Amino acid sequence: MQKRRVVVTGIGAVTPLGNDARTSWEKATSGISGVGRVTRLNADDFPAKVAAEVKEFNIEQFIEKKEARKMDRFTHYAVAASLMAVKDAGLDINEDNAGRVGVWIGSGIGGMETFEQQHETFMKRGYRRVSPFFVPMMIPDMAAGQVSITLGARGFNSCTVTACATGTNSIGDAFKVIQRGDADAMVTGGAEAPITKMSFAGFCANTALSTNEDPEKASRPFDKNRDGFVMGEGSGIVVLEELEHAIARGANIYAEIVGYGATGDAYHITAPAPEGEGGARAMKMALDDGGLSPEDVGYINAHGTSTGYNDKYETMAIKSVFVQHAYKLAVSSTKSMTGHLLGAAGGIEAIFTALTLKEGILPPTINYETPDPDCDLDYVPNEARRVQVEAAISNSLGFGGHNATLAFRKYNG
């Protein structure tokens, strides 16, 4: 049976760069950092002092205050980004098509903020004062659940939790739902609100976060002086749609999603497999799934976390898959500007990859100052570049050895 073709018809985002996808993209292509001194907690209590926080976001612009109070902040971001994505797609979800429109939105850690607040209440005042909404606010699948309720989307509904690969796995899984005929459209991506005392403490304890106190310089993927990632928050959501369905209603098409690869390292709970072996297999799987040769790809939106092992091993993985062509394609990490949105990272990076194909602009890797001999590819240093590319991939790699890659083609009608 011939695979159904799937395209991206809507984008929505809440990020440290802006509270919509277009603003986030314009700032990313302008090389603007969304990182600042952390304000959601007392920076003096931690060795890491900076974070990429969402700014001036008001959920009441999207839903009523009464409903918002029943949701954790990660769900706020997901609901807002989803409403923007569906509006951008011009997709009318109604009684006739609701069963063919699904939602697949993941979160790496879910409602950590709610958990901490309710635990404090329990310890001080007992179980009777714990909110009856505690569990449904905290669990990671509630972003997908609340988006489904808000939109009235009754089709395939699921949630992926694969740490920092969550957003990419979610989109890839949703892509397959449409491709095999189980839905005509999917609202999909990731959402995260991890800037809380306990999650910040946890990542500080395992020395994953940058201790660079200069906010604009702290996230520096592939640079020799990188010292850890910068925690970010927000949501990136896309509307995926079966091609003929999109054409029939005159939808704007950003790009075609053609391939998906997902693998496991089976190696270590936090460290990537040596030489990025698992990530390399995910990239190759996505290329094979999409009928692409390595030479077809002109751009890679890298996982590029600004940590020592990740950037080195991802570079090695790219070279193992693309061989000599690795030195001819462009690789950039938009985490240099957004910080690392954990489970939401793959969502916003899929949006950036689709816009790269649509608009012919490669977003840069900012703060690239000192080359690392182990990282010797073209990382689009510091300034965006106008280049038309026909195909691109986006990588995400997560704790637990989860690797995921999405492959996109430019849509030429």
Angle at 409 between CA 404 and CA 411, to 5 degrees: 140
- Looking at residue 253, its amino acid is I
Closest CA to 392 of 411, 406, 377: 406
Residue 377: its H or E element: none
Closest CA to 103 of 87, 84, 75, 82: 82
Cα–Cα distance list, 280 to 146, 154, 265, 274, 366 (Å):
35, 36, 10, 11, 25
Based on the residue annotation, tell me whether 204 is a catalytic residue of this protein: no
Contacts of 299 (CB under 8 A, 6+ apart): 329, 330, 331, 332, 353, 356, 357, 362, 387, 389, 392, 393
Which among 159, 164, 204, 375 is annotated as catalytic?
164
CB atoms within 10 A of CB 227: 15
CB 78 within 8 A of CB 146: yes
DSSP 308-335: HHHHHHHHHHHHHHHGGGGGTSEEE-TH
Residues 308 and 162: their CA atoms lie apart, in Å, by: 21
What is the token pair recorded at 131? 């909110």
Closest CA to 407 of 391, 390, 389, 386: 391
Q: Report the catalytic residues.
A: 164
